Chains A and B, each alone.
Chain A
Amino acid sequence: MKPSLQRGDRIVLEREHFQNLLDALNKKGYQIIGPTLGEGSIIYGKLSCVSDLPIGWTDEQEGGMYHLKKRGDNALFGYTVGPHSWKNFLFPSVQQLLQAKREGKGFQVNRKREEIPKFAFLGARSCDIYAITIQDKVFIKGKFVDPHYASRRGDTFIVAVNCGKAGGTCFCVSMGTGPRADLGFDIAMTEVLKSDRHYFLVELGTERGAEIFQEIPYKNASEEERATANTVVENTAKHMGRYMNTDHIKDLLYRNYEHPRWNDVAERCLACANCTMVCPTCFCTTVEDTGDVPGGHAERWRKLDSCFNLDHSYIHGGSTRYSIRSRYRQWMIHKIATWIDQFGTTGCVGCGRCITWCPVAIDITEEARAIRKSEQAAE
């Protein structure tokens, strides 16, 4: 009989027992979602066994660039974040909200009953866990609760993986959101690869996280194993691909709504909305009402939208944000300034996706730096 594990305990899971973790989650009824190879990148999908993970793969990321390549070892988590984020599952890009049918002169509204699996997110990075907590504020912590988000989010089991590698566009250290997971997880793992050993240092974040290990072989972590895992994450923190000075960033941007840099970035920005699609916190949606031709059936759909779309701000007479300058400005000032007033935190977690997936490599850290520098130069 093993002594019972508790929240806060640190244990070691050997690589050969990793499958047991997946089995234990499956047994508890979780649908496991995690990183897997697809669409030429590392995306999130259903996992049933360890070999579904991108074993031995890594990614190279830079502004407007993403490449997969082989690592030369058998790391399970030797890459950073890809184009997907967990919002694909908690906040799907297309959702039916309602159906209605005509009855006499009136109509009857029915809610779509949706079977939502109990998700386990395996391999959630710290930045992305922060992103989930940010979307929680939007959808479940305010005056209104979004039942669709709430029901998907409800029982989600989160297996965090502390990053063992920083991506070329990562800046979680600047945003205070990583690379070590410090909140919102049930278990958090650090992958340690040595020439003769491959194991995971596991931190138990919740009671149910501890429970999962009841049927998984583990041993208590030694001082040395803890120290080694710490070194892995500390090393990642030292190699961030990007940096953003967030000192008084809200005031900086509030002062600079008319900065010439917005014209400069508008020359480059295609208003393609890629950045908002890959951003793990962007939540703008449009609501579409549809009706069938005979007029008896109607539906309401919610679809991911973007502040880069011209009709996002349309009111009779025209769009409020007509120029690309104003749309990029809206996005960036929202992300790192007005979001703070709205939700008490920035909307940026430093995951770098918007930089990697921008077809013209616009870099939010660079844009913020340019504005800050010009102010410093003027002083």
Chain B
Amino acid sequence: MINNIPEPMTPNVFRINKKYKETHDTFTIELEPTQGTDEFFFSPGQFNMLYVFGVGEAPISISGDPKNPKTLKHTIRVVGTVTKAMYRLKRGEVLGVRGPFGSHWPSENAVGKDVIIIAGGIGLAPLRPVVYQLISQREKYRKVVLLYGARTPEDILYTYDLEQWQRRFDIEIKITVDAAAENWRGDVGVVTTLIRKISFDPSHMIGMICGPEIMMRFTVAELQNCGVGKENIFLSMERNMRCGIGFCGHCQFGPVFVCKEGPVFNYECIENFFGTREI
């Protein structure tokens, strides 16, 4: 009987087609399935469980273009055993992939509204797919703004994309860093300071936030100061995950499972416990 029910913990084998460094501690891999279909469909904001043979598995957000299902991209920060092992993998080697899992950014709710995307650090990785998506259907939205904060200029992700987007007249990009050397000509300060530098219609906007929890807390507060309703604020949460499918219990965040109801949450649905310490 056991063999009749699909095993949701079985990874599919994907080959690494490309691998490149993004910053000193992050890299991107481009993956292609080795069996079955050659396409991988996902919605911006979703994640995969990536498995290194014999080492372990980690939840990693999908950071490629949803319109290009032939290339599955993940940007990974080297922080633990599994991500270190991923970094050691070479082109042509394989990874296990389970997914896509979780909720997605609400681009459907953003039609006809301003979209303010606010990213901190590697929080840009799960937001990049939604930027691609918004750009591909640019006429559907009013203002599109990306505010991005990184620790230092060397920590800025996707500089090639950012430069390209900066050249467009239909999307506004603002970048700030926490600390920089003298040759940095951009903003210095936390990402929340950028919110006051842009104009948007607080009653007709959708905010999408991803970054460290403390950054998201201050960003939500600043947006609310600007008159944005909590129902229009969305953020992506991170918790320990061992399964991605609601069985392991690790990603509980108050009453919700980050893997199932999240990782993208409407702020209104989590505000009661979002600020609770050690929840």
Chain B interface bracket (under 10, 10 to 19, 20 to 34, 35 or more): 35 or more
**CB nearest to A91 among chain B residues:** B247
Which parts of B224-279 form the interface with A (CB within 8 Å)? 238-240, 242-243, 245-250, 252, 254-257, 260, 272-273, 276-279
Of A12-20, A41-49, A140-148, A171-179, which binds chain B?
A140-148
B5 touching A151, Cβ below 8 Å: yes
A245 interface residue per 8 A CB criterion: no
Which listed residue (B5, B54, B240) contacts A150, Cβ 8 A? B5
* Contact of A320 with B279 at beta-carbon distance under 8 Å, contacts A147-B2, A283-B249, A305-B249 already known: yes
A65 interface residue per 8 A CB criterion: no
**Chain A residues whose CB sits within 8 angstroms of the CB of B5 once the complex forms:** 145, 147, 150-151
* Contact of A307 with B80 at beta-carbon distance under 8 Å, contacts A106-B13, A116-B1 already known: no
Quick one: CB contact mask for A209-251 with B, threshold 8 Å, 1 for yes?
Answer: 0000000000000000000000000000000000000000000
Chain A interface bracket (under 10, 10 to 19, 20 to 34, 35 or more): 35 or more
Tell me, in angstroms, the Cα distance from A329 to B240 when the chains sit together.
Answer: 18
A98 touching B9, Cβ below 8 Å: yes
B247 touching A298, Cβ below 8 Å: no
**Chain B residues whose CB sits within 8 angstroms of the CB of A100 once the complex forms:** 53-54
**Chain A residues whose CB sits within 8 angstroms of the CB of B252 once the complex forms:** 307, 330, 334, 338
Tell me, in angstroms, the Cα distance from A258 to B276 when the chains sit together.
Answer: 8
Tell me, in angstroms, the Cα distance from A342 to B249 when the chains sit together.
Answer: 11
* Contact of A307 with B249 at beta-carbon distance under 8 Å, contacts A147-B6, A289-B57, A314-B240 already known: yes
Which listed residue (A107, A111, A145) contacts B53, Cβ 8 A? A107
Which listed residue (B243, B276, B279) contacts A287, Cβ 8 A? B243
**Chain A residues whose CB sits within 8 angstroms of the CB of B13 once the complex forms:** 106-109
**CB nearest to A142 among chain B residues:** B246
A26 interface residue per 8 A CB criterion: no
**Chain B residues whose CB sits within 8 angstroms of the CB of A283 once the complex forms:** 247, 249
A290 touching B10, Cβ below 8 Å: no
A111 touching B246, Cβ below 8 Å: no
A379 interface residue per 8 A CB criterion: no
* Contact of A289 with B246 at beta-carbon distance under 8 Å, contacts A98-B7, A111-B10, A151-B5 already known: no
Tell me, in angstroms, the Cα distance from A48 to B278 when the chains sit together.
Answer: 49
Which listed residue (B245, B254, B278) contacts A326, Cβ 8 A? B278
A114 touching B255, Cβ below 8 Å: no
**Chain B residues whose CB sits within 8 angstroms of the CB of A334 once the complex forms:** 252
Which listed residue (A107, A143, A297, A313) contacts B239, Cβ 8 A? A313
Which parts of B41-86 form the interface with A (CB within 8 Å)? 51, 53-57, 77, 79-80
**Chain A residues whose CB sits within 8 angstroms of the CB of B100 once the complex forms:** none
A257 touching B273, Cβ below 8 Å: yes
A102 touching B53, Cβ below 8 Å: yes
Tell me, in angstroms, the Cα distance from A307 to B278 when the chains sit together.
Answer: 12
A5 interface residue per 8 A CB criterion: no
Q: Give chain B's interface secondary structure class.
A: loop
Tell me, in angstroms, the Cα distance from A139 to B56 when the chains sit together.
Answer: 23
**CB nearest to A285 among chain B residues:** B248
Closest chain-B Cβ to A265's Cβ sits at a distance in Å of: 14
**CB nearest to A262 among chain B residues:** B278
A341 touching B246, Cβ below 8 Å: no
A2 interface residue per 8 A CB criterion: no
B53 touching A286, Cβ below 8 Å: no
B239 touching A315, Cβ below 8 Å: yes
Which listed residue (B15, B54, B77, B238) contacts A295, Cβ 8 A? B54
- 7 other contacts beyond A150-B5, A151-B1, with CB at 8 A cut-off? A97-B7, A111-B10, A292-B54, A297-B54, A315-B240, A322-B278, A326-B278
Top 10 closest A-B pairs, CB basis?
A291-B54, A326-B278, A284-B249, A147-B5, A338-B255, A341-B255, A298-B54, A151-B2, A316-B79, A144-B245
- Residue contacts A-B, CB under 8 angstroms, 22 given: A106-B34, A111-B3, A111-B10, A116-B1, A138-B247, A146-B247, A151-B5, A257-B273, A257-B276, A284-B250, A285-B242, A285-B248, A286-B248, A287-B242, A287-B248, A289-B51, A289-B57, A305-B250, A307-B252, A315-B238, A341-B255, A342-B255
B residues at A contact (CB < 8 Å): 1-3, 5-11, 13, 15, 34, 51, 53-57, 77, 79-80, 92-94, 96, 238-240, 242-243, 245-250, 252, 254-257, 260, 272-273, 276-279
A residues at B contact (CB < 8 Å): 97-98, 100, 102, 105-109, 111, 113-114, 116, 138-139, 142-148, 150-151, 154, 254, 257-258, 283-292, 295, 297-298, 300, 302, 305, 307, 311-316, 320-323, 325-326, 329-330, 334, 337-338, 341-342
